[in-house]
C-alpha cells in the first residue's frame, strides 16, 4: 500500500527540528506524498514559533512540483504536491484548552492537538482522557497527535468511542515506535490503540512527526506493526488520497 499523506511534520520554525519547509516539500515529492501537512508546534513550545507565524500562511503557495529541466522544487498550479498549513497545538489543561486562539485556528487548514510534558501536567488516566476528548471536540482539531505516551496514560475504549463520535482521526505516530523516543511504552500503547480502533472500526492516520526531511512520508515501523496485527488498510486514511476530504474541509 502507498501512503499519500503525511500531515505531521516539523520544520526549522519548531526550534528543535532541522529542515526548511522547502527541503520538506522536496523530500515529500521524492517519496510520492501528495498531501504534506506543515503542523508546527503551538506557541507554548520552548523555542517554537510566535502566534504571528500562524497568521501569515497566506504568503505560502499551496501546490508544488519539480521544474522539468532543473529538477528544482517550484510552486506550480496543478502540481503533484498540495501543502496544507496547520499546527500541532498543545493541549494545556483538563478542559482541553489549546495554546492557539480560534482567530488563528480558523485561518489554517487543520489542527492536530497533542499532549506534551512542557505544556500539560499529567493527571489520572481519566483526566488525561478527558483533556484529549475535550481538545478534539474543538471543531478545528482533525487529528489527535501521538495518543501513545505512557507518561500520560489514556483510556483507549473511551478515547476511541469519543473520536468516532467527533469524526476525528487518531494518529499512529511513527516516531513513537523509535526505541529512542522520549515517549514511554509507545509500542505497547499503539498496539492497544490499534486493537481498540479495529473493534470500533475507527480510522487512524499515520504521521511521521518528522523533525528532519529524511523521515517525511516514511512509515516503515508503523506499517510493520499494522501487518503484525492484521490491521485493516481501509481504516488507514493515508492510503487513499480522497480521504483528505473526509478529514479536512477544504477544496483542493
Task: Using CB under 5 A, list all residues that contact Zn ion.
Answer: 88, 114, 209
Beta strands of 30-174 (E only): which ranges? 35-41, 63-66, 73-75, 81-90, 110-114, 141-144, 169-173
CB under 8 Å to 86, separation ≥6 — which residues? 7, 37, 38, 39, 40, 108, 109, 110, 111, 112
Smallest gap, in angstroms, from Cβ of residue 78 to Zn ion?
30
Residue among 10 and 82 whose Cβ is closer to Zn ion: 10
- Other beta carbons within 10 angstroms of residue 21's beta carbon come to 18
Residue among 88 and 109 whose Cβ is closer to Zn ion: 88
Smallest gap, in angstroms, from Cβ of residue 60 to Zn ion?
19
* Whole-angstrom distance, CA of residue 58 vs CA of residue 36: 16
Residue among 88 and 223 whose Cβ is closer to Zn ion: 88
With DSSP H G I counted as helix, E B as strand and the rest as coil, what are the percentages for the chain, rounded to 5?
35, 20, 45
Smallest gap, in angstroms, from Cβ of residue 114 to Zn ion?
4
Smallest gap, in angstroms, from Cβ of residue 17 to Zn ion?
9
Amino acid at each position: 500500500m502507498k501512503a499519500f499523506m503525511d500531515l505531521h511534520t516539523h520544520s526549522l520554525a519548531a526550534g528543535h527540528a532541522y529542515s526548511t519547509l522547502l527541503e520538506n516539500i522536496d523530500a515529500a515529492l521524492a517519496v510520492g506524498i501528495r498531501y504534506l501537512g506543515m503542523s508546527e508546534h503551538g506557541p507554548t513550545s520552548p523555542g517554537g514559533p510566535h502566534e504571528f507565524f500562524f497568521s501569515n500562511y497566506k504568503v505560502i503557495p499551496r501546490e508544488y512540483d519539480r521544474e522539468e529541466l532543473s529538477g528544482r522544487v517550484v510552486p506550480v498550479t496543478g502540481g503533484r504536491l498540495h501543502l496544507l498549513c496547520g499546527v500541532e497545538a498543545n493541549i494545556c489543561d483538563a478542559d482541553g484548552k489549546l495554546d492557539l486562539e480560534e482567530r488563528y485556528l480558523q485561518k489554517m487548514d487543520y489542527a492536530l492537538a497533542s499532549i506534551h510534558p512542557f505544556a500539560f501536567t499529567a493527571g489520572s488516566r481519566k483526566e488525561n482522557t478527558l483533556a484529549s476528548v475535550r481538545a478534539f471536540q474543538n471543531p478545528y482539531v482533525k487529528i489527535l497527535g501521538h495518543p501513545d505516551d505512557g507518561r500520560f496514560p489514556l483510556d483507549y475504549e473511551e478515547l476511541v468511542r469519543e473520536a468516532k463520535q467527533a469524526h476525528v482521526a487518531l494518529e499512529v505516530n511513527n516516531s513513537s515506535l523509535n526505541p529512542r523516543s522520549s515517549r514511554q511504552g509507545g509500542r505497547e500503547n499503539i498496539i492497544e490503540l490499534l486493537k481498540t480502533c479495529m473493534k470500533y472500526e475507527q480510522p487512524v492516520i499515520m504521521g511521521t512527526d518528522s523533525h528532519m526531511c529524511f523521515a517525511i512520508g516514511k512509515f516503515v515501523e508503523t506499517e510493520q506493526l499494522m501487518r503484525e496485527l492484521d490491521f485493516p488498510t481501509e481504516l488507514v486514511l493515508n492510503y487513499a488520497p480522497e480521504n483528505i476530504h473526509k478529514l479536512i474541509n477544504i477544496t483542493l
